[in-house]
Amino acid sequence: MPVADQRGVKNDDTASNTPEVFACVSCPSLNGVGRNWPWASGGSSILAEYGTLHLEFMHLSALSGKPVFAEKVMNIRKVLNRLDKPQGLYPNYLNPNSGQWGQHHVSVGGLGDSFYEYLLKAWIMSDKIDEEGKKLYYDALQNLIRKSSGGLTYIAEWKGGLLEHKMGHLTCFAGGMIALGADGAPDEKTGHQMELAAEIARTCHESYVRTSMKLGPEAFRFDGGVEAIATRQNEKYFILRPEVIETYMYMWRFTHDPKYRQWGWEAVQALENFCRVEGGYSGVRDVYSTSPNHDDVQQSFYLAETLKYLYLLFSDDDHLPFEHWVFNTEAHPLPIIKKASPELGNHLK
């Protein structure tokens, strides 16, 4: 069954040679015909949705010896490469009938994130054979990065030609993603990429420490004289999300700077103080309040990701080492395909 991910929407549809590869089954009908939600820019498919299965299908081809699964996800790239991209950006919506972009909304956070993540991780999973995936990742990476007047680096959103100076908690995974891809950076820019990753990690940490509960809001803004603070009531909630912890884990693995473990421990204490309830852990409705108003929900990704990344943050590096494993967008480890088979290699070059 399809699952709703905290980063966009997932589906279990497979690809074909036509733009209909993007038809999702987020709302399947009894006759087996997939259709999209009407709120998604006139029934469009979602960028994160049709980028998400890349690692899983490559793994399936490696396990089965059948390249057909790899072919399915590689067809998605062929369609995207044929399309004109506004200012080099990938909008979050693509119409499955016309094969054209929907509403011009671009985000590295919700609706878009795992598409970018999987471009990079496809290269890593292929034992760094998939040069196209790496190139597409780096070409798209820099377009939305901005720095505030107070010196905080953040990743903005783009709507209809205008920048929105907002960064979501979901986008905070990007610090870890950038660090993970640093050693493949073009033009000897590895050091610059690690600096950028550290700056993103710092900004997301600031979004936590500037709240009363020391837990980060769903989104935070850099306008109207505020920085790294949620200004709208519907952005002040925290639902046990993993993305900031994820970045701390990657930054610790790559730098061994003790501040990342310290920041992770601060988050553990905040979770215990404000989210621990009798039956488990609950999200809170306003992180700027001095007392928690619980939403009475323990999200599935809290166990699958948040606690797993915390465990890895405080584990030795040889526990699921990066040279052997890559995490999918739900933090499930998949093995790197060492010296990818010739059949797969033909689809990755």
**Kind and range of the H or E run holding 162:** strand 162-164
Distance CA 78, CA 185 (A): 23
Cα-to-chain-centroid distance, residue 110: 8
**Kind and range of the H or E run holding 167:** strand 166-168
Type of residue at 255 = T
Task: Decide if 218 is catalytic.
Answer: yes
Distance CA 8, CA 310 (A): 23
Q: Which tokens go with 176?
A: 């870890």
Active-site pick, 117, 206, 218, 330: 218
Q: Which tokens go with 279?
A: 């039956």
Distance CA 127, CA 334 (A): 12
Q: Any idea of the CA torsion for 163, 168, 171, 173, to the nearest 10 degrees?
A: 160
Residue 329, annotated ligand binder? yes
Cα-to-chain-centroid distance, residue 292: 27
User: Which pairs with CB-CB distance under 8 Å and at least 24 residues apart come from 176-179?
Assistant: 176/201, 176/246, 176/247, 176/248, 176/249, 176/250, 176/251, 177/116, 177/117, 177/120, 177/250, 178/141, 179/247, 179/250, 179/251, 179/254
Helices (H), 99-224: 113-125, 131-141, 174-180, 190-209
Distance CA 54, CA 90 (A): 17
Buried b (16+ CB within 10 A) or exposed e, 26-42: bebeeeeebebeeebbe
Q: Which tokens go with 60?
A: 């399936």
Burial class of residue 266 (count of CB atoms within 10 Å of its CB; 0-12, 13-18, 19+): middle
| Nearest alpha-carbon partner for 244 in 223, 217, 278, 279 | 217
User: Which residues are documented as binding site for Ca(2+)?
Assistant: 329
User: Which residues are documented as binding site?
Assistant: 329
Active site residues: 218
